């Protein structure tokens, strides 16, 4: 199945097999009644305009009509410590430089992102890996990069 917005191949989320995710567009599609995963945009109950969840994860404010709604607080995803993420970044950049800044081809890049999209350690909202803390849209492009869980077939 391909994304309606960009045409990229969709990946299953780890939360529910009926929900698909596009790594490029960061959009979900499908429904999961069993786990009640939010796959559709949040709609203002007053005027019907699409609204975004605030950065604190607790409220939505409609820019159209000003309606404020209290939402269930969303816990932020856990990532490695800042120190560990710095070490991971330094190691990845060093290996990338050592390789002559070689990038993957488009097919390998898409396969890597597809693997990430279906991984339980992938944070869909930020496109980051909870194991290494990396932004996977960048890391997946580096030929020398490796999945911290060994899931990429290099």
Q: Please tell me the predicted confidence (pLDDT) of residue 84.
A: 93
Kindly list the distances between the CA atom of residue 10 and the CA atoms of 17, 109, 134, in Å, as whole numbers in the listed order: 12, 14, 21
Q: Please tell me the predicted confidence (pLDDT) of residue 41.
A: 59
Mean pLDDT along residues 138-147: 95
CA 86 to CA 107: how far, in whole Å?
Answer: 29
Domains of the chain: 1-39 (no CATH), 41-75 (2.20.70), 82-139 (no CATH)
Query: What's the pLDDT tens digit per position in 57-101?
Result: 556 677 778 777 765 544 556 889 999 999 999 999 999 999 999
Query: Is the pLDDT assigned to residue 144 strictly greater than 80?
Result: yes
- 12, 122 in Cβ contact below 8 A? no
Whole-model pTM: value is: 0.54
CA 137 to CA 127: how far, in whole Å?
Answer: 7
**Closest listed residue to residue 118, CA positions, set 145, 89, 147, 86:** 147
Query: Is the pLDDT assigned to residue 119 strictly greater than 60?
Result: yes
Query: Is the pLDDT assigned to residue 9 strictly greater than 90?
Result: no
Identify the band that residue 28 occupies on the pLDDT scale cut at 50, 70 and 90: low
């Amino acid at each position: 199945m391909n994304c309606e917005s960009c045409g990229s191949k969709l990946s299953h989320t780890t939360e529910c097999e009926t929900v698909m995710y596009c790594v490029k567009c960061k959009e979900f599609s499908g429904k999961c009644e069993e786990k009640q995963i939010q796959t559709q945009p949040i709609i203002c109950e007053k005027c019907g305009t699409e609204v975004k969840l605030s950065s604190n994860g607790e409220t939505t404010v409609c820019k159209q009509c000003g309606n404020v709604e209290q939402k269930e607080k969303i816990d932020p995803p856990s990532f490695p410590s800042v120190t560990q993420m710095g070490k991971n970044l330094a190691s990845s950049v060093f290996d990338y430089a050592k390789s002559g800044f070689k990038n993957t081809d488009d097919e390998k890049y898409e396969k890597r992102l597809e693997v990430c999209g279906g991984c339980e350690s992938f944070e869909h909202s930020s496109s980051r890996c909870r194991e290494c803390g990396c932004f996977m849209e960048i890391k997946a492009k580096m030929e020398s990069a490796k999945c911290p869980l060994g899931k990429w077939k290099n």
